[in-house]
Amino acid sequence: MDIFTTMKISASALKAQRIRMNTISSNLANIETTRTPDGGPYRKREVVFQTSEQGFADALDSRMRDAAPGVEVAYIQASSKPPQMVYNPSHPDADEQGMVAMPNIDLVEETADMMSASRAYEANVTVVKSAKRMALKALEIGR
């Protein structure tokens, strides 16, 4: 695997982790949203990753070099968990029994996911920096 392939793989991971962090931020921003344009409370969004698809030539080239293709966001899905029902009869979205459907977002879980995404992002930045240093050292050798 060459340095540029390493950078390409890390760049794809950086992009995927940025999308993941944006999705988590959206979840946190809507933790109290009980009314959406679709109706009902905000539903937690989850990012699903997959290996990035390549064209035939790129796939053949990566197979010849045993290179990994990288990662990309396959899709962002709404959580299938039901909303939390909270008793608050004074809330404008309360039903006849005084229950309000709140988003199914756990603050602790989202915070842990944000830390995980941040660390994965930092790790990929470190890989890019290391590949850059190796390239510069290789150029120094050639002088």
Would the pTM count as exceeding 0.85? no
The count of structural domains within the chain is 1
Residue whose tokens read 């390549």: 54
Exposure string for 80-117, b = 16+ CB within 10 A, e = fewer? eeebeeeeeeeeeebeeeebbbbbbbeeeebeebbeeb
What's the pLDDT band for 6 if we cut at 50, 70, 90? confident
**Is 41 in a helix, a strand, or coil?**
coil
Contacts within 8 Å (CB) and 24+ apart, 60-65 = 62/5, 65/1, 65/2, 65/5
Q: What is the pLDDT, as a whole number, of residue 75? A: 92
Q: Which domain holds residue 24?
A: 3-141
Percent of the chain, pLDDT > 70?
88
The token pair that represents 124 in the structure block: 């990929």
**Pairing, β 71-78 against β 84-87:** unpaired
